[in-house]
Amino acid sequence: MADTIVRNVQTSHGTIATEMTAAKGQDVVLIHGNSSCRAVFNKQLQSELVEDYRLITFDLPGHGDSGDAIDKQRTYPLPGLAEASLELLETLDVQNPVLLGWSLGGHVAIEMLSRGKPFRGLFISGTPPVGADISEGFRGTPLKGLAATGSFTPEQAGVFVDRVFGSEATHQLLKAAIRTDRDFRTTLFSQARIGDKSNQRQIVSSTKTMTAVVNGGADLIVNLDYVDAVPYSNLWRGSCIRIPGAGHAPFLQNSNAFNGCLREFLHDIENA
């Protein structure tokens, strides 16, 4: 892995563990998914991308090496996660980055975009930009309700990680699922707070920010037909991309193809 700088950043939402590479190129902020951690992006931090771009990863509040949120009702709903991420970037003096969000991280990135801040690009994976009807972006309940469950037993964490990562599931990712704050999932999906999020379908249908949508072709969690049919206002190369041989985590399951798409996207942004 490339040499990285690891730092704990104090924010009004709590302590956030960050990691970044040392390159001086375009900043790319990678945001992980529900009950995961920044280590999911190790195959990006180990790639040639780090020679030309500064990759910035962090553990969301209540995840990985970050602390649990100081005020969970403030931070754990989607708008709070976006505000915590924006405050982190401001503290790090990261300006006009490309946002790369996976699964929940993609929803966080779209929510950040809704705040009117300047971003060079948006790259989402495993993230259906949903409107009022959240269910239409997903394929039934492949996670068996675990995405909204409180504390995981080791057995539940194993099922969750296996369904999300498949053959790329590791002990580190299992530990991350178990570590996640027991209040995170229940607060995120609370019926009292889930409606607080923006209409993400409208956001990606009106933004001027170049948007790449890159999914695993065999994703069993996301309704890819729904994702492909969203009327994006500035869709990179005019269509959503499906990576063969990959499920919900294509950056792990077919990292060469995923990294190639990301490099091409960043190249096109630089030359736009």
> What pLDDT shows up at residue 157?
96
In the chain, the percentage of residues whose pLDDT exceeds 90 is 89
User: Strand runs (DSSP E) across 22-97, as ranges?
Assistant: 27-31, 54-58
The tens digit of pLDDT for each residue in 20-66 reads 999 889 999 999 999 999 999 999 999 999 999 999 999 999 999 99
Segments making up each domain of the chain, as ranges: 4-270
Rounded to 10°, the helix 154-165/171-179 angle is 120
Could you report the per-residue pLDDT of 143-176, keeping only the tens digit for each? 889 999 999 999 999 999 999 999 999 999 999 9
Which range has the worst mean pLDDT, 14-18, 105-109, 129-133? 129-133
> Tens digit of pLDDT for each residue in 74-88?
999 999 999 999 999
Segment 110-125 mean pLDDT: 95
Confidence of residue 3 (pLDDT cuts 50, 70, 90): confident
The per-residue pLDDT for 24 is 85
Provide the greatest CA pair distance for the chain.
48
- Nearest 10 degrees: CA dihedral of 78, 33, 72, 83? -50
In words, the CATH class of domain 4-270 is alpha beta
CA dihedral 58, 59, 64, 66 (to 10 degrees): 100
How many Cα atoms are found within 13 Å in the side-chain-facing hemisphere of 259? Answer: 19
Per-residue confidence band for 1, with pLDDT thresholds at 50, 70 and 90: low
Percent composition of the chain: helix, strand, coil (DSSP 3-state, to 5): 40, 20, 40
- pLDDT-derived band at 197 (thresholds 50, 70, 90) equals confident
Query: Is pLDDT of 17 > 60?
Result: yes
Model pLDDT, residue 117: 87
pTM of this structure: 0.97
Tokens of 92: 């790090």
Among positive and negative, which fits the CA dihedral 258, 51, 1, 175?
negative
What is the average pLDDT value for the chain, to the nearest integer?
95
pLDDT score recorded for residue 82: 97
